[in-house]
């Protein structure tokens, strides 16, 4: 008399499995957009960085067994090229790189476009009013959204002077590029509860910043930043999903980032 319930339970499990299988991710329905610059000799780093990307060849050629084998060792500062800023970067109690929940790295995205403003003023900062105007036209920014700020700056990569505003080694006093403003960051981080702030410039603070308010606002709420992104012009203002996965560095304040967007066809 116990056989019937077992059959029912097994049938239910199989049915549920079939439903899940039918909901698999169909990549043919999406255009995949690479949002990361490649790491190499031309990768840009903050002017005060003590090192740059280095790739040392350890092996490259045929082995005694007759097959080809290649292996390298690499080193890089955490903060350079397309990379993640972990909250710990500007908050002593903030999450380190490996502690960031996946929900902050993989999420629906919106793109706020300030290319027009940035083309007129390379020190432009996104304002609270800019965000509210975006929402008026495109709908509210939901909690858990990755916000990407498009400035058009990726077109300058990897020209150091054009991208950073100055190419003096070790000097950050003359940097000039657009980014988020503090009031906009507070609205997005504190009121909207966004998952992350991303941008196609070198920092989520504008180039002339000396107090890094946006970093501090984001870090205080454990919101990571994605910097030196590219191809934001290939994304819709709404509708894309972003996966921004950094090297999972234990205790890290950031790390190299491979970010991609899934854009519905």
CATH of the domain at 252: 3.50.30.50
Least confident of 20-29, 113-122, 204-213: 20-29
Beta-carbon contacts of residue 138 (< 8 Å; ≥ 6 apart): 110, 237, 238
Average pLDDT over residues 112-138: 98
Residue 24 falls inside a structural domain = no
Total number of domains constituting the chain: 1
Does the pLDDT at position 12 exceed 90? no
pLDDT per position as a tens digit, 225-257? 999 999 999 999 999 999 999 999 999 999 999
Burial profile 203-212: b = 16 or more Cβ within 10 angstroms, e = fewer: bbbbbbbeeb
Residue 52 falls inside a structural domain = yes
Which residue spans within the chain are E strands per DSSP? 30-34, 54-62, 68-75, 83-85, 106-113, 125-126, 146-150, 179-180, 196-199, 225-227, 238-246, 254-264
Residue 55 falls inside a structural domain = yes
Burial profile 241-253: b = 16 or more Cβ within 10 angstroms, e = fewer: ebbbebbebeebb
Model confidence band, residue 4 (pLDDT cutoffs 50, 70, 90)? very low
Residue 22 falls inside a structural domain = no
pLDDT per position as a tens digit, 155-196? 999 999 999 999 999 999 999 999 999 999 999 999 999 999
Residue 187 falls inside a structural domain = yes
Residue 146 falls inside a structural domain = yes
pLDDT per position as a tens digit, 61-115? 999 999 999 999 999 999 999 999 999 999 999 999 999 999 999 999 999 999 9
Residue 217 falls inside a structural domain = yes
Residue 104 falls inside a structural domain = yes
Residue range of the domain that includes 257: 30-264
């Amino acid at each position: 008399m116990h056989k019937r319930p077992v059959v029912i339970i097994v049938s239910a499990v199989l049915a549920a499995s079939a439903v899940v299988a039918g909901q698999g991710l169909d990549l043919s329905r999406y255009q995949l957009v690479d949002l990361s610059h490649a790491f190499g000799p031309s990768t840009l780093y903050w002017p005060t960085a003590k090192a740059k990307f280095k790739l040392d060849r350890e092996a490259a050629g045929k082995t005694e067994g007759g097959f080809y084998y290649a292996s390298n060792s690499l080193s890089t500062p955490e903060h350079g090229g397309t990379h993640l800023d972990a909250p710990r970067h500007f908050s002593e109690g903030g999450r380190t790189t490996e502690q960031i929940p996946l929900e902050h790295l993989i999420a629906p995205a919106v793109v706020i476009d300030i290319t027009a403003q940035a083309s007129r003023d390379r020190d432009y900062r996104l304002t609270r009013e800019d965000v509210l105007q975006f929402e008026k036209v495109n709908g509210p920014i939901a909690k858990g959204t990755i916000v990407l700020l498009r400035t058009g700056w990726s077109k300058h990569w990897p020209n150091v002077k054009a991208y950073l505003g100055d190419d003096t080694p070790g000097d950050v006093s003359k940097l000039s590029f657009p980014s988020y403003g503090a009031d906009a960051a507070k609205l997005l981080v504190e009121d909207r509860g966004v998952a992350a702030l991303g941008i196609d410039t070198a920092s989520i603070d504008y180039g002339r910043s000396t107090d890094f308010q946006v970093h501090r606002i984001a870090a205080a709420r454990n919101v990571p930043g994605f910097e030196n992104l590219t191809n934001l012009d290939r994304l819709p203002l709404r509708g894309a999903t972003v996966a921004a996965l950094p090297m999972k560095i234990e205790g890290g304040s950031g790390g190299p980032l491979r970010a991609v967007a899934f854009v519905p066809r």
